[in-house]
Amino acid sequence: MPIYEFKCLKCENFFEILVMNKNETVEMKCPQCGAEDFERVLSTTRHSINAGAGTKQGVTSQTRNCSSGSCTTYTIPGPNG
């Protein structure tokens, strides 16, 4: 069940659309102003696990300058591989 996040280009409202299954018809308009002109945005995520004592928990981030302005790398806890 993906949740898609959008930004209305008319009123700049951010909203989500939950898709229950791929064959479902979903109303695609801004819930605030009713406009059908919007763009999909990357959603922020938050992930944490219950780690053992003395271990780092949750997501960490590192921000640095890059050619497009600033870039952020997120480290999500869990198995590496």
pLDDT for the residue 8? 92
Domain coordinates in residue numbering, the chain: 3-41
With a CB cutoff of 8 Å and minimum separation 6, the contacts of 74 are 59, 60, 61
For residues 61 and 12, the model is more confident at 12
pLDDT for the residue 55? 54
Q: What is the pLDDT of residues 13-72, one digit of tens each?
A: 998 887 777 777 777 889 999 999 989 887 666 555 555 555 555 667 778 887 777 788
Q: What is the pTM of this model?
A: 0.47
Alpha-carbon distance of 19 to 37, in angstroms, equals: 19
For residues 62 and 7, the model is more confident at 7
Q: Annotate 49-66 with b (16+ C-beta within 10 A) or e (fewer).
A: eeeeeeeeeeeeeeeeee
